[in-house]
Chains A and B, each alone.
Chain A
Amino acid sequence: MGRIETTFLDLAELKQKALIGYIVSGDPNVSSTLMAMHLMVEEGVHVIELGIAFSDPMAEGPSIQQGHERALSEKISLKATLKLVKSFREKDKKTPVVLMGYMNTFEALGSEVFSSTAKDNGVDGVLIVDMPLEASDEFTEESRKQGLDVIRLIAPTTTESRIKKICKQASGYVYYISLKGITGADSINPKEVEKKVLKLKKVTDLPVVIGFGIKDGKSASKVKDLADGVVVGSALVDIMGGNKEEIEKHLSIKIKDLSKALHKT
């Protein structure tokens, strides 16, 4: 059993929701990312999503765009991120790590090289934003061969028949995009989300997590009961881009707040 599956099973047994934290690898530098990963876990994050910086992050709002730009100015690469995960695994053998990014950087490394190195270094899943189901054959096959989970996105616009098709191909967990928009937007509508997630739950046995538009305990508590976990991105990336001396402090406060909200019943 992989780390992702184990983590969600353990949480389900405890009747707890998963807190998934997204930061950009190399933002503001590789050592800060490594520090932040361990700190996030310590304060209550269950799954880490590491953004892979791209020059043209089409689905991101201003916060995460800036995160990508900061990381690129530090010359981060997918290869360097794979090494970073290896370093993370020296101390943390348990927390799932998912790489999230755009097709072109993964293809540049090559799906075979990527998948095998990722597996060896302790990556658990991959989520490629601009790789919809129809465009993913080769990449998915290579990832599967290595036992990496290919995380799939479902959007508010995804039709029911498409949801079925996508869920058939998904593994790890299913990521529901809570709103029409880019990361960091805040127009989340819990009623709409509930309707869609209920439908989703009927189609898949995989854990369903909700992302986009969740930035603190308050927004997390509005949707937490609808699904198996929530993803927080822009709010954490803002902290990583803030005053370097205070990253630890602010990250710690933020995650405690989120964690508390998720535990409340």
Chain B
Amino acid sequence: MSKKEQVPDSKGRFGIYGGVYVAETLVPALEELAQKYELIKDDKEFKAEVQDDLEKFVGRPSPLYFAKHWSKKLGGAKVYLKREDLNHTGAHKINNTVGQILLAKHMGKTRIIAETGAGQHGVATATVAARQGLECVIYMGEEDIKRQSLNVYRIKILGAEVVSVNSGTKTLKDAMNEAMRDWVTNVDNTYYIIGSVAGPHPYPQIVRDFNSIVGKEVLVQSKNQIGKMPDLLVACVGGGSNAMGLFYPFIDISSTDLVGVEAGGLGLDTGKHAAPLNAGSEGVLHGMRTYLMQTEEGQIQNTHSISAGLDYPGVGPEHAWLKDIGRADYTTANDQEALDAFKELTLVEGIMPALETAHALAYVKKIAPTMDSEKVIVVNISGRGDKDINTVADIEGIKL
């Protein structure tokens, strides 16, 4: 049997990872969601509805762009960019929210909630909620509200409420805790749109499936534009949705290597990073079993990354599984390497990537020169960099 058809199993598990570790109040809601999704996901009408929105509202398919100048500069493999930054709202996150909001509507829910780190998922959620006329509340850590103020304002203009979360580390993980608390309280009328391939089953599956459009398009585009399958796919990994969306359709194509890049922060040896697959251990958080950054006593550790969207101590369970079975490899890029790659792509190709994406680019910078010119790398440009201008200017000591 193919690897990708095995997971998740009937208990929502990817190997030992995943599952449903939530308070009893939410178990029936998650069961209902899983059942509903199972019924609707292959329904012709539903699929056509999603496809139509992806084409006309999001602007798909997104181009597969040959980065000629950068490839030449790197002097090795040919590097192609999957341009998710060109999607409406500026990141891959919209692929998921377009799908989940239709699911919410089919379930008769009238209120939408979401957590967000970089604000991209918050914007993508507020966008589809506005369009469907649904009430929308976005939970965001106080720290992230500061560093992603542009997106916070966008969310507000879109008519959603932004709730500042000041518990714990005041970042993405705490926003997720707070969104869960809201959901437990308002479970009757509320749909929780989780923004990555994380959380309890069936979310890792749902978010993966909706983002798989990315990998599916790359399959077709590779055949048409390159005449062969890529040798290597690269994506950054926060919760892991842009990576999973790119990787999933390729899981059974064993000639294509898969590499996910986590946030190395100030360096793995400093402990100030957000790289659970590289430096964490197995545990349970946010409804899933996965790799976590945690103390010996099972307390979740503070994370650090230059990019809010990667600043998360856990990772989607399917990545944990892909790591363990050896189908994908996971590495890190640190803050400085990401910043350098951010600047390089902007200068050489005129494409300003998100700081999250820049982690994937930093790895490409290292690996492409070691590969020969026949080889093809596809890297997921998960989002555009406008939202990060303040962060970058701050680091440069420039006041805008």
Binding site for B on A (CB under 8 A): 54-59, 61, 65, 69, 72, 77-79, 102-109, 129-132, 134-135, 152-159, 162, 166, 177, 180-182, 185
A79 to B296 alpha-carbon distance, docked (Å): 12
B108 at the interface (CB under 8 A from A): no
Distance in angstroms from A168 CB to nearest chain B CB is: 15
* Interface SS of chain B: mixed
Determine, out of B114-122, B184-192, B258-266, B375-383, the stretch whose residues face the partner at the interface: B184-192
Q: Return the chain A residue nearest B295 by Cβ.
A: A108
One of A61, A130, A182 near B284 (C-beta < 8 A): A130
Query: Which residues of B lie under 8 Å from residue A159 when comparing CB positions?
Result: 28
**Which one of A59, A61, A105, A158 contacts B297 once the chains associate, using CB atoms below 8 Å?**
A105
Task: Report chain B residues within 8 Å CB of A153.
Answer: 23-24
Q: Which of B24, B180, B298 contacts A177 (CB 8 A)?
A: B24
Cα–Cα, bound, A107→B19 (Å) = 15
Tell whether A130 pairs with B21 under 8 Å between CB atoms, given A181-B185, A182-B185.
yes
Contact A134 B173 (CB under 8 A): no
B134 interface residue (CB < 8 Å to A): no
Summed over the interface, the residue pairs from A and B with CB atoms below 8 Å come to a total of 115
A57 and B286 alpha carbons, distance in the complex (Å): 10
A107 vs B174: C-alpha distance when bound (angstroms) = 21
Partner of B28, one of A77, A103, A104, A158: A158
Contacts of B296 in A (CB 8 A): 108
**Interfacial chain A residues near B173, Cβ < 8 Å:** 56
- Answer yes or no: B27 CB below 8 A from chain A CBs: yes
Contacts of B187 in A (CB 8 A): 157, 180
Confirm or deny: B133 has a beta carbon within 8 angstroms of a beta carbon on chain A.
no
Report whether A54 and B299 are in contact in the complex, using a CB–CB cutoff of 8 Å: yes
Instruction: Write out the residue numbers on chain A whose beta carbons fall within 8 Å of the beta carbon of B186.
Output: 180
State in angstroms the CA–CA spacing of A180 and B292 once bound together: 29
Chain B interface residues (CB < 8 Å from chain A)? 11, 19-29, 167-168, 173-174, 177, 180-181, 184-188, 283-287, 292, 294-300
Please state if B299 and A155 are interface contacts (CB–CB under 8 Å): no
Given contacts A108-B297, A130-B284, contact A155 B20 (CB under 8 A): no
Contact of A132 among B20, B184, B298 (CB under 8 A): B20
List the 6 closest A-B pairs by CB distance, nearest first. Answer: A108-B298, A155-B25, A105-B298, A181-B185, A104-B298, A153-B24
Q: Is the CB of A185 within 8 A of B185?
A: yes
**Smallest Cβ-Cβ distance to A159: which chain B residue:** B28
The answer for the CA separation of A156 and B186 in the assembled complex, in Å, is 12
- Give bound CA distance, A56 to B168, whole Å: 7
Determine if B181 and A55 form an interchain contact, defined as CB atoms under 8 angstroms apart: no
| CB-contact partner of B29 in A65, A72, A157, under 8 A | A157
Q: Is the CB of A104 within 8 A of B283?
A: yes
Residue of A nearest to B282 (CB): A107
Known: A107-B283, A108-B294. A132 touches B185 (CB 8 A): no
The CA-CA distance from A69 to B250 in the complex, in Å, is: 44
Q: 8 extra interchain contacts, Cβ-Cβ under 8 A, other than A78-B298, A134-B27? A: A77-B297, A104-B294, A105-B298, A107-B284, A152-B24, A156-B25, A158-B28, A177-B24
Q: How far is the CA of A180 from the CA of B286 in the complex (A)?
A: 18
B185 contact set on A, CB distance < 8 A: 180-182, 185
Residues of the B chain whose Cβ atoms lie less than 8 Å from the Cβ of A180 = 25, 184-188
Kindly identify which residue among A72, A155, A166 contacts B23, using a CB–CB cutoff of 8 Å: A155
B168 → A minimal CB distance (Å)? 6
Interface pair A155/B283, CB less than 8 Å apart: no
Q: Is the CB of A130 within 8 A of B287?
A: yes
- Residues of B within 8 Å of A130, CB to CB, are 21-23, 284, 287
Min CB–CB distance A71 → chain B (angstroms):
11
- Indicate if the CB atoms of B28 and A129 lie closer than 8 Å: no
Closest B residue by C-beta to A152: B24
Q: Are A135 and B20 in contact (CB under 8 A)?
A: yes
Pick the residue among A61, A72, A131, A155 that contacts B21 (CB under 8 A).
Answer: A131
A135 and B298 contact, CB distance less than 8 A: no
How far does the alpha carbon of A18 sit from the alpha carbon of B383 in the complex, in Å? 56
Residues of A within 8 A of B174 (CB): 56
